A and B are shown apart, each in its own frame.
Chain A
Amino acid sequence: MTRTIRIGETLPERRVNISALHIVLGAIASRDWQPQHHDHEQATAARLPGIILNAPSQIGWFIGYVTAWTGPHARIARWRLSMLKPICPGTRLVMTGTVRSVKDDPAGLRWIELDLAMSREDANAAQERLSATRMLVAMPGTVEPWAVTAEAWRPPPFTDYES
């Protein structure tokens, strides 16, 4: 069933306290053995504040945030990740998102483009942006995204690439 989603709509905020376990588990499950994701001493020797959340984990958090809002019928099509500052244990993260575009295509999919961010929230509720992602998601229109064949699956470019 088609769901009404409007440009400018915001996703409900999600908060999580990032632990060392989140960081180490995400790195190892994504087969990323680089020491800055599990070894505090090596991370600080590399002038980082501590071990840092790796790129697949950041995308994983963003995707989970989006699909908790869309439901499992949504199919992720594209993302562009910008890691702005390290995300370390002890960070209170706030995830936010806004719908940037909504387009129906002739194949029967509804393409939703989102601007997503992870920010650090301090005790005074002040926020500092640590990571941002543009994400394209296929939603059910007249067809189910997961039923679309490889030949018919044509994710459009991000709107900022359109001429």
Chain B
Amino acid sequence: MAEETPPDDLPAEVRSWIGRVVVVEPDSVPVEMGICRLFAAAVEDGNPLYWDEQTANSIAGSPIAPSALISAWNRPDPWRPDGAPPARALELHFRLKEKLGLPKAVVTRAETELHAPVRPGDRLSAEQRLDRVGPRTRNRLGEGRYWTISVLYRRAGGELCGIEELEFYGYGAVQP
């Protein structure tokens, strides 16, 4: 695919982010089977890769975490003992909204590609990369821009476990 030229009217800082990993969440909560089974129970998924260690060992080398949880492990806790406000999930998205002056945003496309399976004991890092910011446009939500962020999830040692590609439409600029 041909490389797209960023729009001329973007703030310089935002232009400098395009194509780069801007935010890295270096660590996550540890992956553990109690939470994996709770999630599998929530969606009534009886896959033995979550529930039957012997079968999981013979098929996949160990139990694995449900793939739908790939983005969950890095989400911040809702409370911190030091009283500090919780960190923001997908920090790059919030920074973009602030820099572009577009306070509202909706997800318009979400695609996930999986690589190495996530296993109990893993801790994942999350690299937030800005892939694209589009020109000013208008749709039923009003004037705004589309942007695309990819989040690359890696286990310790750098092995890629998955890439989540999220396209947003930001809008709601305060009119002068």
Contacts and interface: CB of A to CB of B under 8 A. Distances in A.
A59 B68 contact: yes
| Majority secondary structure, B binding face | mixed
A29 B109 contact: no
Given A25-B42, A146-B59, A155-B114, A76 B67 contact: yes
Contact of B113 (A26, A32, A72, A78): A78
Contact of B38 (A22, A25, A32, A155): A25
A154 to B, nearest CB: 10
A55 interface: yes
A77 B42 contact: no
Contact of A73 (B43, B44, B59): B59
A68 B47 CA distance: 7
Interface in A1-41: 16, 22, 25-26, 29-33
A48 B148 CA distance: 26
A77 B113 contact: yes
Interface string A27-67: 00111110000000000000000000001110111011001
Contacts of A64: 40, 43-47
B116 A80 contact: no
Contacts of A123: none
Contacts of A81: 110-111
A30 B29 CA distance: 12
B44 A57 contact: no
B159 A150 contact: yes
Interface string B96-127: 00000000000001111111110000000000
Q: How large is the interface on A (under 10, 10 to 19, 20 to 34, 35 or more residues)?
A: 20 to 34
Contacts of A60: 39-40, 42-43, 45, 66, 68-69
| Majority secondary structure, A binding face | mixed
Interface in B14-64: 29, 35, 38-49, 55-56, 59-61
Given A63-B67, A67-B45, A79 B111 contact: yes
A33 B78 contact: yes
A79 B67 CA distance: 10
Contacts of A78: 111-114
Question: Which of A68, A72, A146, A155 lies at the interface centre, i.e. has the most chain B CB atoms within 10 A of its CB?
Answer: A72
Contacts of A146: 59-61, 117
B160 interface: yes
B115 A150 contact: yes
Interface string B150-163: 00000000011000
Interface of B: 29, 35, 38-49, 55-56, 59-61, 66-69, 71-73, 75, 78, 109-117, 159-160
Interface of A: 16, 22, 25-26, 29-33, 55-57, 59-61, 63-64, 67-68, 72-73, 75-81, 144, 146, 150, 153, 155
Closest 9 CB pairs of A and B: A64-B45, A60-B43, A29-B39, A25-B42, A60-B68, A26-B42, A31-B75, A59-B68, A146-B60
6 contacts: A22-B43, A25-B38, A30-B69, A57-B43, A80-B112, A153-B116
